[in-house]
Structure 1
């Protein structure tokens, strides 16, 4: 072990940041949580169908009929059907967490979708407010612009005024030219 600046051995080895960490061996197998989540969603989706209920009901009916009417030496689960109860409990104990996992994943997707919708709504509101301000600015600007009707009315007023002046000053007069 290397010595530090004081010439003593360090209490713990120094972590080198310029090199990758050495991986420790794992006791549990590695798995992809995303793949496991997709599998749990598929199972939960199947457990929530009528097809599953029909298959499960059929299997239970066959189980019970076989263990009641088959010869005694071929029965694997006699009358109280303890093994059937164990199998149904085992199925339920796996089904419930898988369904909860699928619901949590759906809640996460819904949360992300809701957040995206909220941001889109905020952008739409900002765009609408911007367009409203622009339209108001255009209306104010158009209020100051001479429109065709306004120019026409001004010209009609000038023509009327000229006609009145002609009536006051005859054609041959010098004052009409001024």
Structure 2
């Protein structure tokens, strides 16, 4: 047992009654359902997708294919080293993904 568990807390009768009321209500489990706007639903969906291992693995495979095709291309390199077009594509993705994910996180923190 830790020290926190061995200390007894003495509550007033009013506090004990309020504690009993809160335990019966289970407020953490009875959160009101919020009506989500289409933007909030989209932000949650994007954050859920971009924040998954599936997305990271698929994106890593696609990046690897892009780089390999440009390194071994015999006829025409559409994005030769140092892969400026790939950098532009990833910057574009990050420019949109980051604010959308932040919208979802801000809404979650409000809840």
Is 1:35 aligned to residue 35 of structure 2? no
Aligned residues: 76
Is 1:90 aligned to residue 92 of structure 2? yes
- 5+ residue gaps, structure 2, are 1-35
TM-score (norm 2): 0.64
Which has the higher Rg, Structure 1 or Structure 2? 1
Which of 77, 80, 91 is equivalent to 1:78? 80
Is 1:64 aligned to residue 67 of structure 2? yes
Is 1:44 aligned to residue 47 of structure 2? yes
After TM superposition, the structure 1 = structure 2 runs for residues 26-175 of structure 1, keeping only pairs within 5 Å, are 34-73=37-76, 75-108=77-110, 110=111
Structure with greater contact order relative to length (CA < 8 Å, sep ≥ 6): 2
Partner of 2:103, secondary structure, is: helix
Shift of 1:72: 3.0
Q: Take 1:48 and 1:105, find their aligned partners in 2: how far apart are those partners?
A: 16
Q: 1:100 to 1:94 in 2, by over 3 A?
A: same
Moved over 6 A (4+): none
Partner of 1:58, secondary structure, is: helix
CA RMSD of aligned residues (A): 1.3
Q: Take 2:45 and 2:64, find their aligned partners in 1: how far apart are those partners?
A: 26
Which whole-Å deviations, capped at 9, do the CAs of 1:79-108 have from their partners, x for residues lacking one? 110000111111111111011000111122
Shift of 1:53: 0.6
- 5+ residue gaps, structure 1, are 1-32, 111-178
